Amino acid sequence: MPKITVEDKTFEAPADKRLVLALEDNGIEILHRCGGYAKCTTCRVKFIEGEPEQMTKAEKERLQQDPQNLYGKVRLSCQILCDHDMTVAPVMTMQNADVDSPGKRPEDQITPSSEWTER
């Protein structure tokens, strides 16, 4: 199974699992305020290693349209599958954000649709 690394912690995740859920299920309280629909960008991560070449169309559009110009800087973990080894740094978590909930748990499959393009 692919290995996911966050700081000094490494865990395995099934290749068809959404990265946001793999992080959450391994004790990292990453935000996902829109429930995994490529809308809120609170599930954003920085890639240290293993950034995927493919991107959902929804992720690309959202990052390109962002007023903070996020395209090329971060990726949306709700739009990424754990299909290879990767090292990431979550940006917004329950520890550093002023919110009372991470957001509704995203569905198991990529939403709104897993239509892929290149990054």
Site map (CB under 6 A) of ligand FES, residues 44-83, x = contact:
--------------------------------x-x-----
The owner of tokens 């971060």 is 74
CB 4 within 8 A of CB 12: yes
- Binding-site size, ligand FES (CB under 6 A): 13
Q: Least Å distance between CB 35 and ligand FES?
A: 6
Identify the H or E element spanning 59: helix 57-65
Q: Least Å distance between CB 59 and ligand FES?
A: 8
Q: What is the maximum span of the chain, computed from C-alpha positions, in angstroms?
A: 37
Q: How far apart are CA 61 and CA 55, in angstroms?
A: 10
Q: Where does this chain bind ligand FES (CB under 6 A)?
A: 32-34, 36-43, 76, 78
